[in-house]
Amino acid sequence: MIQELTRLPGVGPKTAQRLAFFLLAQPIADVQSLAEALLRARQNTRQCGVCCNLTEEDPCPLCSDSRRDRDAICVVERPADVQAVERTRDFHGRYHVLHGVISPLEGVGPEDIRLAELLRRLGEGTCREVIVATNPSVEGEATAMYIARLVKPLGIRVTRLASGLPAGGDLEYADQVTLSRALQGRREL
């Protein structure tokens, strides 16, 4: 069990051991309901046929929500990123989950992430802007640029999230990278 647990992200040998001993000390019924919950969640979850987000229904609630705008698609790396953007409640368009970024070092090419699905959606002709919200890492930037090269020729606007200072934060505590990026991306007042 400890070995199985170590495979989870963010769980090292010590945490795995602690979790294992905790579970072993619990009543059988509790462990059973946890096991069943895990199994049920996994069995009932699949990728949405439209946006590739994880969902129990296909298409997912976000894609089938007719109140959401069809003219903007926000492209993210992971399902968790959808939640992050949703929390802002400032975006009313649709999403597309890539499930990864281009990274030759990890053997991930453009055909290994959900780009073909994105292009198919764009072919429907309702989308007028693609907002690329991949992480500001080397691979996230490369993927964003790759998407721009694919999508711009279709006559669709491609934008990238701005990078800058955290709101409500103190300038003095901002890390150097963030601060120098914010300096490069400064705007006219």
Partner 1 sequence: MWIQQVHLTNFRNYPRLGLELAPGRNYLFGPNGAGKTNLLEAIRVGAHGRSHRGAQDAELARWGTAAFRVRLKAAGSRRSVELEVTWEQGTGKRATLDRAPLPRLADVLGQVPVVIFSPQDLDLVQSGPVFRRRYLDLLLCQVRPAYYDQWLEYQRVLAQRNKLLRATGGTPPPKEQEVWDSQLVATGGPLIEDRRRLVASLNEVVPGLQAAVAGGREDLQVEYRPGVLLPPAGDPAEAFHRHLVRARPLERRRGTTMAGPHRDELVLRLDGRDARATASQGQQRTVALALKLAEVELLRRQGEEPVLLLDDVFSELDPGRRGALLRLLERPGQTLVTAAAPDGVPPARGDDRAYQVGGGHINRCQG
Q: Is 116 in the site for partner 1 (CB under 8 A)?
A: no
Identified binder of partner 1 from the candidate list 104, 123, 155, 168, rule CB under 8 A: 104
User: Residue 8 and residue 1: Cα distance in Å, rounded?
Assistant: 12
Identified binder of partner 1 from the candidate list 69, 112, 129, 141, rule CB under 8 A: 141
Q: Is 180 in the site for partner 1 (CB under 8 A)?
A: yes
Strand partners, 47: 54
User: Residue 2 and residue 133: Cα distance in Å, rounded?
Assistant: 36
Q: Is 107 in the site for partner 1 (CB under 8 A)?
A: yes
76 and 97 in contact (C-beta within 8 Å)? yes
CB of 182 to partner 1, least distance (A): 11
Of residues 40, 38, 86, the one with CA closest to residue 60: 86
Q: Which stretch binds partner 1 (CB under 8 A): 1-9, 23-31, 86-94, 142-150?
A: 142-150
Identified binder of partner 1 from the candidate list 25, 28, 29, 105, rule CB under 8 A: 105
Residues that bind partner 1 (CB under 8 A): 102-105, 107, 109-110, 138-139, 141-142, 145-146, 149-150, 175-177, 179-180
